[in-house]
Amino acid sequence: MKILHTARSLSKREWLRIKRHPRKSIAVLVVVLLLLGFFIFGRNDEVVPTDEVRTPSVVVTSVGALSAESEPLVLLGEVRSVSQAELRAQKSGEVTQVYARPGQFVKAGAILAEISNQSERAAVLSAQGMVAAAKAQLDKINAGARPEDKTSSVVQSQAAQVTLQTAKQSARSAYSQAYTLAQDAVFAQADDFFSNPYTVNPSFRIRSASFDERQIIEKERVEIAKILESWKQKTATSISDDALDARLMEAERDLERIKTFLNSISSYISEQTIDANLTSATKSAQEATVLGARSNISSAQNLVHGARNGLTAAKSGSQVASLSSDVVLSGARSEDVAAAQAGVTQAQGALAGAYAQLENTLIRTPISGTVSTLNATRGDFLSSFDVVAVVANEGALEIEVFVSDSVRDRIVVGGPVLIDGKYQGMVTSISPGLDPVTKKSRVTVGITSDATLTNGAFVEVAFQGNEPETEKTTQQATTTEFSIPISAIKVLPRGFAVFTVKEDNTLEAHPIQEGPILGSKMLVPEGLTADIMIVNDVRGISEGDAVVVNTETQ
């Protein structure tokens, strides 16, 4: 304290000297300040108490509950100035309706004209029916069969078994009839052209054949006799169910061989020359004989082929009826439910496509403004990309948003939009393709309410509406795919993970597979189950940290 008092006295006495000797005075002043600083700060030996370490509080929720929460799709968009919009026809056709006139003020999303679209509306109606039918089928599978359905299924299965037995009996009969036709064609008709046909050395009597050709056809006659004898023995006994199809296939091969044999005889007969030894009448009679033999073989082939087809169809019908009966009686399997759900998704995709085709027939303005030009009246024919109307508004604004392919399916033209949480808007167009560089689609949003927005500014765009049925169906169909908030996902050196709370109230990491981002959520394809309890917000906490579970907010 004495040194401090001395310093204060020195500063008063030396004030006049500072003016007279500035350099010396400044040096003295620096020394004094250093001494003051040393005694004020250098002697502060007090220990600053450390802040009390607080244990963070967390909220845990099941993955199934987080995935079931629906919320608007929120994206970032850029505000753009739109001075005017040229509306062009997306397809060729006749103008059937005009809803605006030049000079009229229209709001964004309004339809100015409509091109002939009976087929597109019919396609939408058909697609709606397909969706309804697919949903009804899914409901039917989930609900199970009624008692009368079970009875009907059993009756159909029994009828299919009767049909199968009838087809088997018809196949056996066809096998025997085919033999009768084949032996008649050979023994009663083709043998007219052989001497000693029933011996081991038959002689072919058609003179147009050469010596070698006679040798070949005579040898074939002996082999065919063996085939027919074996066939005759097989028809004498009943054919078992297991051997029936094989017998029919064998008969088809034998009949084809006999047909080739008869075709050779027919060609030799046709090559004969009319002379003193062969009259025209005799040759015609020979041709008629071999034609009758070939006709018999063709009839036999038709019998066998029809029997095989009937037997195959009856077997398939019996199997289908039996499987259907099993499904009805035992209830639907998980695979059947998944297939029905996939059918619903497919039908909804067809409906979305039909709506897209219908939208191409509507002339819709993306901005609010005045119709300055309207080049369409009822009855006019428009070609693709013709300018139909011009809507001008120097103060008009629109919002441009670029979305990934996985998100694009959640946005529809005409859908409501909330801008920055307070302004109303509407989706006016969706680019059908992806940008080759960014791999994203361009979406434009028209502003339907008075809004104070700045050109070039980025705003938050919330696409309203529930999650599409297609996505809900897909999530229900797969038990391993869930959507969870991005705030619940931690990026670790080894990959993405979520946190759970162990019994000792410390955090444990569970690895997950990265998936597409849908707004403020990530679609996780693997690594989670519906009942696992995870931390809702992992920001500021790490694996192994001790936490307090907030039970009031769970």
Two tokens at 60? 């845990």
pLDDT higher for 355 or 85? 355
Q: pLDDT by residue (tens digit) across 120-134?
A: 999 999 999 999 999
Pick the last residue of a domain from 463, 495, 513.
463
Question: Tell me, what's the pLDDT at 50?
Answer: 47
Two tokens at 74? 């929120």
Question: Tell me, what's the pLDDT at 476?
Answer: 44
Question: Tell me, what's the pLDDT at 522?
Answer: 85
Residues 138 and 196 in one domain: no
pLDDT above 50 for 439 = yes
Give, rounded to a whole angstrom, the gap between the first and last alpha carbons of the chain: 61
Q: Whole-angstrom Cα distance, residue 339 to residue 4?
A: 92
The 10 Å CB-count burial string (b at 16+, else e) for 500-533 is ebeeeeebebeebeebeebbebbbbeebbeeeee
Question: Tell me, what's the pLDDT at 327?
Answer: 63
Q: Whole-angstrom Cα distance, residue 188 to residue 262?
A: 13
Does the residue 431 lie in any domain?
A: yes
Domain, as residue range, for 421 = 73-116+367-463
pLDDT above 50 for 1 = no
pLDDT above 70 for 30 = no
Query: Is 396 exposed, middle or buried, given 0-12, 13-18 or 19+ CB atoms closer than 10 A?
Result: buried
Does the residue 469 lie in any domain?
A: no
Question: Tell me, what's the pLDDT at 108?
Answer: 86
Does the residue 321 lie in any domain?
A: yes
Does the residue 473 lie in any domain?
A: no
Contact 525, 513 (CB under 8 A): yes
pLDDT above 70 for 432 = yes
Rounded mean pLDDT of 277-304? 92
Residues 78 and 225 in one domain: no
Question: Tell me, what's the pLDDT at 316?
Answer: 87
Residues 288 and 156 in one domain: yes
H-helix or E-strand spanning residue 60: strand 60-62
Q: pLDDT by residue (tens digit) across 91-113?
A: 899 999 999 999 888 888 899 99
Q: Whole-angstrom Cα distance, residue 145 to residue 337?
A: 14
* Distant-in-sequence, close-in-space partners of 541: CB < 8 Å, separation ≥ 6: 56, 58, 499, 507, 535, 547
The 10 Å CB-count burial string (b at 16+, else e) for 182-191 is bbbbbbebbb
Q: What angle do CA 159, 160, 165 make, to 5 degrees?
A: 95
Tokens 């019908």 belong to residue: 317
Does the residue 326 lie in any domain?
A: yes
HEC per residue, 142-199: HHCCCHHHHHHHHHHHHHHHHHHHHHHHHHHHHHHHHHHHHHHHHHHHHHHHEECCCC
Question: Tell me, what's the pLDDT at 553?
Answer: 44
Q: pLDDT by residue (tens digit) across 132-189?
A: 999 988 887 777 666 776 787 788 888 888 888 898 899 899 999 999 999 999 999 9
Most confident of 65-79, 361-375, 392-406: 361-375
pLDDT above 90 for 252 = yes
Residues 535 and 394 in one domain: no
Does the residue 420 lie in any domain?
A: yes
Two tokens at 83? 């001075």
Question: Tell me, what's the pLDDT at 396?
Answer: 67
Residues 185 and 286 in one domain: yes
Question: Tell me, what's the pLDDT at 527?
Answer: 83
Question: Tell me, what's the pLDDT at 81?
Answer: 64
Q: Whole-angstrom Cα distance, residue 72 to residue 463?
A: 6
Contact 194, 202 (CB under 8 A): yes
Q: What is the mean pLDDT of the chain?
A: 83
Rounded mean pLDDT of 268-274? 90
Nearest one of 476, 424, 432, 415 to 450, comparing CA atoms? 424
pLDDT higher for 38 or 301? 301
Phi, psi for residue 72 in degrees, rounded to 5 = -60, 150
Determine the 3-state secondary structure of 329 from DSSP.
helix
Residues 178 and 319 in one domain: yes
Number of Cα atoms under 13 Å in the Cβ half of residue 543: 13
Question: Tell me, what's the pLDDT at 470?
Answer: 44
Bridge partners of residue 461, in order along the sequence: 75, 419
Determine the 3-state secondary structure of 390 from DSSP.
strand
pLDDT band at residue 468 using 50, 70 and 90 as cut-offs: very low
Question: Tell me, what's the pLDDT at 255?
Answer: 94
Residues 456 and 386 in one domain: yes
pLDDT band at residue 526 using 50, 70 and 90 as cut-offs: confident
Residues 265 and 205 in one domain: yes
Residues 180 and 287 in one domain: yes
pLDDT above 50 for 514 = yes
Two tokens at 393? 């508004």
pLDDT above 60 for 352 = yes
Question: Tell me, what's the pLDDT at 143?
Answer: 72
Question: Tell me, what's the pLDDT at 198?
Answer: 87
Question: Tell me, what's the pLDDT at 238?
Answer: 87
Two tokens at 322? 């039996």
Residues 179 and 302 in one domain: yes
Tokens 């994203």 belong to residue: 440
Rounded mean pLDDT of 477-486? 71
Residues 445 and 488 in one domain: no
Phi, psi for residue 82 in degrees, rounded to 5 = -125, 105
* Distant-in-sequence, close-in-space partners of 504: CB < 8 Å, separation ≥ 6: 546
Distance of CA 516 to the CA centre of its chain: 16
Rounded mean pLDDT of 8-22? 54
pLDDT higher for 501 or 80? 501
Question: Tell me, what's the pLDDT at 41?
Answer: 54
pTM for the whole structure: 0.37
Two tokens at 97? 């309706």
Contact 410, 518 (CB under 8 A): yes
Rounded mean pLDDT of 10-14? 52
Phi, psi for residue 124 in degrees, rounded to 5 = -65, -45
Using the 8-state DSSP alphabet, how is residue 394 labeled? T
The total domain count for the chain is 4
Beta strands in 433-549 (DSSP E): 441-447, 458-463, 482-485, 490-492, 495-501, 507-511, 517-518, 521-524, 533-535, 548-549
Q: What angle do CA 441, 447, 452 make, to 5 degrees?
A: 120
H-helix or E-strand spanning residue 230: helix 211-235
Two tokens at 332? 């639907």
Does the residue 3 lie in any domain?
A: no
Nearest one of 310, 312, 323 to 157, comparing CA atoms? 323
Question: Tell me, what's the pLDDT at 39?
Answer: 57
pLDDT higher for 383 or 335? 383
Q: Whole-angstrom Cα distance, residue 382 to residue 92?
A: 5
Q: What angle do CA 161, 166, 167 make, to 5 degrees?
A: 95
pLDDT above 70 for 471 = no
Contact 477, 344 (CB under 8 A): no
Residues 177 and 271 in one domain: yes
pLDDT higher for 330 or 416? 416
Pick the last residue of a domain from 430, 463, 496.
463
pLDDT band at residue 496 using 50, 70 and 90 as cut-offs: very high
CATH of the domain at 513: 2.40.420.20
Question: Tell me, what's the pLDDT at 321?
Answer: 81
Question: Tell me, what's the pLDDT at 258?
Answer: 94
Contact 90, 387 (CB under 8 A): no
Q: Whole-angstrom Cα distance, residue 336 to residue 360?
A: 37
Does the residue 40 lie in any domain?
A: no
pLDDT higher for 173 or 325? 173
Tokens 């908030």 belong to residue: 485
CATH of the domain at 430: 2.40.30.170
Question: Tell me, what's the pLDDT at 411?
Answer: 85
